[in-house]
Each structure stands twice: as C-alpha cells, then as structure tokens.
Amino acid sequence: MRERKGSVMAATVVFAYDGSEDAQRAIAVAGELLGAHRALIVHVRLLPVPQIVAAGEDEEPYTAFEQAQQREVDRVSAEGVEAAVRAGFEAEAVVAAADSVAGVWGAVLDVASEREATVIVAGRRGISRVQSALMGSVSSGLINHAPISVLVVPRAKA
C-alpha cells in the first residue's frame, strides 16, 4: 500500500456517493487524508412508488422511466468511480436500493460490513435540523449506527 504524507492508513474506504458536489468533495478530501488503496463507491438508488406494468410474454418488464433511472444510476456510479481514481484510489462501484433515507445509510453500512471496510466517508449537505428531523440525514445515520469510523466532510466554504 502506498503512503501519503500526513495520512492515516485505511485498507478499504466506502464512500456514500450520490453525485452531489458534497460527495465529490468528500472523495477528494479523503484522498488527501487517507492512505487507502481500495475504494468502494456506494450509490444507493431510492426506489420510487412501484409502477404497475403489464408486460406480455415478449415484452420488456421495465418501463421507459425505469430504464432512464437505471441509466442515471450507471452514470452517477461511474462518475463516483472516476472521482475516486482521480483522488488516488483503485475504485469500483456498488449499487444498492432503498426506499428511505434510513434505507440509504443502512445499505451503505451493509456494503461496508460485507466488504470489511475500515472507514466510511460521506459528504455533509448542511441541511437544517428541521429538514434533518423531517427527511432524515444519511451522514447522521452513518455516524449514529456505524460500527467503524465515519469521516463526514463538511461543505466547502463559499
């Protein structure tokens, strides 16, 4: 494993990645701080309300909407892997699905556990306490429930 000056060594880093500027910044900061070699970019797809699709024998069971969603998931995941590679990691994408914010951080924790990660990294969006109470916060869920270290990177100062 390579060492970076002033860095902490971590074997595998799991990034909670949603494609936002905050998530991209978290990858860049972790690249500077952590001497990890391997990164898993976890993109959790929030599931919409299920659509009822009537498909015949020869018809594709996915709607155009679902196909567009999958293309977006693939695009965001690839973007996360590219950001991690630029930050010095060997990276791969892991896609999971959830139906709530609690499901998102739960999916990230599941991947971290399955892959024996040593640290989880997430960006912080800076939502208000009211918004966090109503909608939930992925970074708060990770901090409060992860059995391993969590690095939450704050928003860049404007």
Mean pLDDT over 11-17 rounds to: 91
Number of domains in the chain: 1
Domain of residue 132, residue span: 12-47+69-153
Q: Within a domain: residue 5?
A: no
Mean pLDDT of the chain: 82
Q: Within a domain: residue 63?
A: no
Q: Check pLDDT > 80 for residue 47.
A: no
Quote the pLDDT of residue 92: 95
Quote the pLDDT of residue 100: 85
pTM of the model: 0.80
Q: Within a domain: residue 110?
A: yes
Q: Within a domain: residue 140?
A: yes
Quote the pLDDT of residue 16: 93
Q: Within a domain: residue 131?
A: yes
Q: Which residues contact 146 (CB under 8 A, 6 or more apart)?
A: 109, 112, 120
Give the domain CATH number at 142: 3.40.50.620
- Residue 38 structure tokens: 């391997």
